[in-house]
Chain A
Amino acid sequence: MAKTYDYLFKLLLIGDSGVGKTSILFRFSEDAFNISFISTIGIDFKIRTIDLDGKKVKLQIWDTAGQERFRTITTAYYRGSMGIMLVYDVTNEKSFENIKNWIRNIEENASADVEKMILGNKCDLDSKRQVSKERGEQLAVEYQIKFVETSAKDSLNVEYAFYTLARDIKAKMEKKQEASNPPGARGGTHQLKANDQQRKPPSWLSRCSIL
């Protein structure tokens, strides 16, 4: 099957329960917002292919599957991720404070050069706001990470956030490729698929013996 994209990026959404990770994911991948959607059941990841400077970039965006609730995200979740959206809820102080803990978690488990971005979600709920935009910006400066306030409900800045993160990953990747032709540490790995030479008899039998 012909590849329908130039790049495939694995992105993660991370942050406390209820900050709107799944809503952000749905806003970006389906352009939908369903207020009754309160849990992540059944959501593994979503895919959207975007166009960046003439290149087709396939974004595979993974959700936490609720494993953030008791801080039990598997190390396997972080493997191979190239970008991470750290999400807090501007109406929930605690979720903002926990961003630091999530960054520590990322540093422990994700690749050292993973691109990160902080999102202050639910910025449409101004009357309930507990975290000012300035504090979000300040935190981002502290960690030297990009920051934007988003509203999955009003579709504010969600596109912008994913495009920004993807562009940063692409730039980093192209820079790396120019600098050196790495011996492909990630090459040669297998993802097992149903059509892997399905039920083909082993090589002992597939050819007639000339011995």
Chain B
Amino acid sequence: MDDDLPTDFQVIVVGTGMVESIVAAACSRIGKNVLHLDSSDHYGGLWASYNFDGLQKFIKEVSEDPKRQEQVYNLSEKWYIEKDVSEEAEENKTDADPAKKIWSQTKFAAEYRKFNIDMTPKLLFSRGPLVELLISSNIARYAEFRCVTRVLTWLDDRLMPVPCSRADVFATDSVSILEKRQLMKMLTAIVGNTEEEMEQEFKDWNDKPFKDYLTHKGLTPNLIHYVLFAIAGGTDKMNCRDGVKESKKFLMSLGRYGNTPFLWPMYGSGELPQCFCRLCAVFGGVYCLNRPIDKVEHKVVDEGKSIVVIESKSKTLNCDHLVIGINECPKDLISPEPTESTDISKAVFITNASIMPSEKEPLTLLRFPSLDGGDHAVTVLEVGPATGSCPKGLFVVYMITSKVTDAENDLMPYAQRIFDMNADQTETTEKPKCLWSVFYNVRDTSAPVASLVDNVHLCSGPDSGLDFDRAVEQAEQIFKKICPGEEFLPRAPDPEEIVFEDDAAPGPDFERTLEDEEEQKPEE
């Protein structure tokens, strides 16, 4: 099978993370001849989603073969439930509350396919760059989304819903009429002001804390909390410029799909790189997984043309441009050494109920301000069975923050606030019971890194941000370098628009015929 693989490409992409996949799709879309490889047997790299079985393999790999997963460390997995449930316990429970299932490790394993657990859970802003790109490129047809139904915050030692929309502001009884008026005025100003008005308003505030500005505007402590932590997603130290920018982004995405500004991809964020890969393949990109690369060399051939030569499984592959994920790239190609950055602390919990039960299955973003008044807020995402993330009766909860000591120390205090970490499943408690957890740290490889060679383009790893905006932005930059002057992911035609006739040239949207493809191969 390996012998079938052609050896000459215009673009070779190594790694199937978000940035790499977008670049692959963009190059293929405009007619470049693309080969897309990954050293692992699945798509996504650190951006992948795993079913429960795949996740167990990943965990095993991290502990047994740290070299294969060198970005992940301090991993600790823990079960809070028995291996098996005795018949007796099950029967007792059935009498008490037939809707509640008693979970065991065996039952998790039996339903492993129903889990889709993300390594890099992220949301999309409804009017953010990724949503716009998915629509404009027609890649949206490969994916489905659900709306985040609510934004919560932690205030006065309990979970509180944050009023997002205008209707929410009216409906909420947690703020007074006076506060409602203040909040509306503030938010309307942030969205509605022109550039000049903004400039005028903030010229003395830009580098000062956003919190001080909100205080100056006379907002009550509750409102400051909502705006600063939940809407702007900030901390006490967030400066005014960022605070306004982030608030605006949040507010501008309201009112398109649901009650909050956010969308969650069905079956997890790991689906999204695959959607771009599909488009790449539809336009002729060749895919090969399980294909580690052994060596990358830069060569100057006739007439000063420079190419990149890759050795993979004792096969030599040539390309004009190599696009490579930072985690797949040989260290000697990276220049300069990546700057020291704060690593990321992450955790995943599987629970037996929502952190705040509601009539319809909720999909929640919880923004947890630092409990010790520090500079690190915690982002919490709770997804349920309707998102394709887990079997019925369970919820998957993700926590993400900047690393201070290690993932478990950084995040356990937050988990303890919202979950019951030790309770017996048969007991009735107020908080959802944690059935399983994993804590781990990931090196932050999201800073843009340059390569030593002009036609080798490095793609960053996942960042700790809430959305995919940085990945989209970087992918477009890389594409522009490889294909200057070309359109970034023009709309792919709908199947109905493609007219095939025997012995006739393909339609105008498909400029590439098989003969063209031959011509486009790099000269040897």
CB pair B500–A185 under 8 Å, yes or no, is: no
Asked if B255 contacts A206 (CB within 8 A), the reply is: yes
| Set of chain A residues within 8 Å of B167, measured between Cβ atoms | 203
Question: Taking A34-B500, A108-B113, A192-B145 as contacts, is the C-beta distance between A65 and B278 under 8 angstroms?
Answer: yes
Q: In the complex, are the beta carbons of B257 and A211 less than 8 A apart?
A: no
Q: How many residues of A contact B (CB 8 A)?
A: 48
**Chain B: which residue is nearest A30 at the CB level?**
B500
Annotate A6-49 by CB proximity to B: 1 below 8 A, 0 otherwise: 00000000000000000000100010101000111111111100
**How distant is the Cα of A43 from the Cα of B48 in the complex, in angstroms?**
26
Is A177 close to B, CB under 8 A?
Answer: no
Nearest-CB residue, chain A, relative to B139: A192
B417 at the interface (CB under 8 A from A): no
CA–CA, A66 and B187, complex, Å: 49
Q: Digit string of A185-198 for contact with B (CB within 8 Å is 1, else 0)?
A: 10011111110110
* Assembly CA distance A88 to B388 (angstroms): 31
Interface pick from B55-63, B286-294, B395-403, B481-489 = B286-294
Q: Kindly provide the distance from the CB of A187 to the nearest chain B CB, expressed in whole angstroms.
A: 9
Identify which of B113, B251, B278, B506 gathers the most chain A CB atoms within 10 Å of its CB: B278
Q: Which of B418-426, B469-477, B491-499 contacts A (4 or more CB under 8 A)?
A: B491-499
Q: How far is the CB of A121 from chain B (nearest CB, A)?
A: 19
Residue of B nearest to A29 (CB): B495
Q: Do A205 and B192 touch across chains, with their CB atoms under 8 A apart?
A: yes
Contact B184 A203 (CB under 8 A): no
Whether A190 and B271, one on each chain, are in contact in the complex, defined by CB atoms closer than 8 angstroms, is no
Q: Is the CB of A76 within 8 A of B251?
A: no
One digit per residue, 1 when the CB lies within 8 angstroms of any chain B CB and 0 when it does not, for chain A 150-168 equals 0000000000000000000
Contact A76–B275 (Cβ < 8 Å)? yes
B181-222 CB mask vs A (1 if < 8 Å, else 0) is 100110110011000000000000000000000000000000
- Least Cβ distance of B478 to chain A in Å? 22
Number of A-B contacts (CB under 8 A): 154
- Selected from A65, A76, A202, the residue in CB contact (under 8 A) with B252 is A202
| CB-based contact A46/B192 at 8 Å | no
Tell me whether A200 and B140 are in contact in the complex, defined as CB-CB below 8 angstroms, given that A44-B492, A74-B278, A108-B113 are known contacts: no
Does B131 belong to the interface (CB within 8 Å)? yes
B363 closest partner in A (C-beta): A188
**Complex interface residues of chain B between 139 and 161 (CB less than 8 A to chain A):** 140-147
Pick the contact of B267: A66, A71, A79 (CB < 8 A). Answer: A79
Contacts of A26 in B (CB 8 A): 500
> Are the C-beta atoms of A80 and B283 separated by less than 8 Å?
no
Is B97 in contact with chain A by the CB < 8 A criterion?
Answer: no
| A189, B146: Cα distance in complex, Å | 5
Q: Are B144 and A42 in contact (CB under 8 A)?
A: no
Chain B residues within an 8 Å CB radius of A41: 282-284, 510, 512, 514
Number of chain B interface residues as a range: 35 or more
Determine if B255 and A190 form an interchain contact, defined as CB atoms under 8 angstroms apart: no
B1 within 8 A of A: yes
Are the CB atoms of A76 and B498 closer together than 8 Å?
A: no
Q: Determine if A66 and B386 form an interchain contact, defined as CB atoms under 8 angstroms apart.
A: no
Tell me the complex Cα distance, A93–B486, Å: 45
B281 and A65 form a contact (CB under 8 A)? yes
- Minimum CB–CB distance from A52 to chain B (whole Å) comes to 21
In this assembly, does A69 line the interface, its C-beta being within 8 Å of a C-beta of chain B?
yes
Which residues of the partner chain B approach A74 to less than 8 Å between Cβ atoms?
A: 43, 274, 277-278
Pick from A192, A196, A202: contact of B251, CB under 8 Å: A202
Within 8 Å by CB of B166, from A47, A185, A189, A203, lies A203
Report B160-181 CB contacts with A as 1/0, cut-off 8 Å. Answer: 0000011100000000000011
Q: Are B274 and A44 in contact (CB under 8 A)?
A: no
The answer to the question of A207 belonging to the interface, with a C-beta cut-off of 8 Å to chain B, is yes
Residue numbers in A under 8 Å from B287 (CB-CB): 66-67, 69-70, 72
Return the chain B residue nearest A76 by Cβ. B274
Contact of A34 among B281, B288, B502 (CB under 8 A): B502
B134 at the interface (CB under 8 A from A): yes
Q: Do residues B166 and A207 form an inter-chain contact, with CB atoms below 8 A? A: yes
**Interface hits, A59-106 → B, CB 8 Å:** 65-67, 69-72, 74-77, 79-80
A191–B192 contact, CB under 8 A? no
Question: How far does the alpha carbon of A204 sit from the alpha carbon of B189 in the complex, in Å?
Answer: 10
Q: How many Å lie between the Cα of A71 and that of B41 in the bound state?
A: 10
Q: Considering the chains assembled together, what is the distance between the CA atoms of A70 and B287 in angstroms?
A: 7
B135 at the interface (CB under 8 A from A): yes
| Least CB distance, A109 to chain B, in whole angstroms | 8
Q: Does B310 make an interface contact (CB < 8 A)?
A: no
Q: Is B254 an interface residue (CB 8 A)?
A: yes
- For the complex, give the distance between the alpha carbons of A202 and B254 in Å: 5
Residue among B141, B188, B251, B263 making CB contact with A190, cutoff 8 Å = B263
Q: Check if A66 sits within 8 Å of B252, measured CB to CB.
A: no
A181 / chain B contacts, CB cutoff of 8 Å: none
Q: Looking across the interface, which residue of chain A has its beta carbon closest to that of B141?
A: A191
- With A34-B502, A72-B288, A190-B144: A185-B255 Cβ-Cβ less than 8 Å: no
B284 touches A66 (CB 8 A): yes
- Which of A75, A108, A192 touches B271 (beta carbons < 8 Å)? A75
Residue A209 at the B interface, CB < 8 A? yes
In contact, A76 and B271 (Cβ under 8 angstroms): yes
Q: Are B145 and A189 in contact (CB under 8 A)?
A: yes
When distances are taken between beta carbons in the complex, the residues of chain A under 8 Å from B506 are 42
In the complex, what distance in Å separates the CA atom of A45 from the CA atom of B187? 44
Give B contacts to A, CB under 8 Å.
1, 4-5, 43, 113, 127, 131, 134-136, 140-147, 165-167, 180-181, 184-185, 187-188, 191-192, 251-257, 263, 266-267, 271, 274-275, 277-278, 281-284, 286-289, 385-386, 388, 492, 495-496, 498, 500, 502, 506, 510, 512, 514
List of 4 A-B pairs having minimum Cβ-Cβ separation, nearest first: A203-B255, A65-B281, A192-B140, A74-B274
Extra inter-chain contacts (12) besides given A43-B495, A209-B184, CB under 8 Å: A40-B282, A44-B492, A69-B4, A76-B143, A76-B278, A79-B267, A108-B113, A192-B140, A194-B136, A203-B165, A205-B188, A211-B184
9 A-B pairs within 8 Å (CB atoms) are namely A42-B283, A42-B512, A66-B286, A72-B288, A76-B267, A112-B113, A189-B144, A192-B131, A202-B191
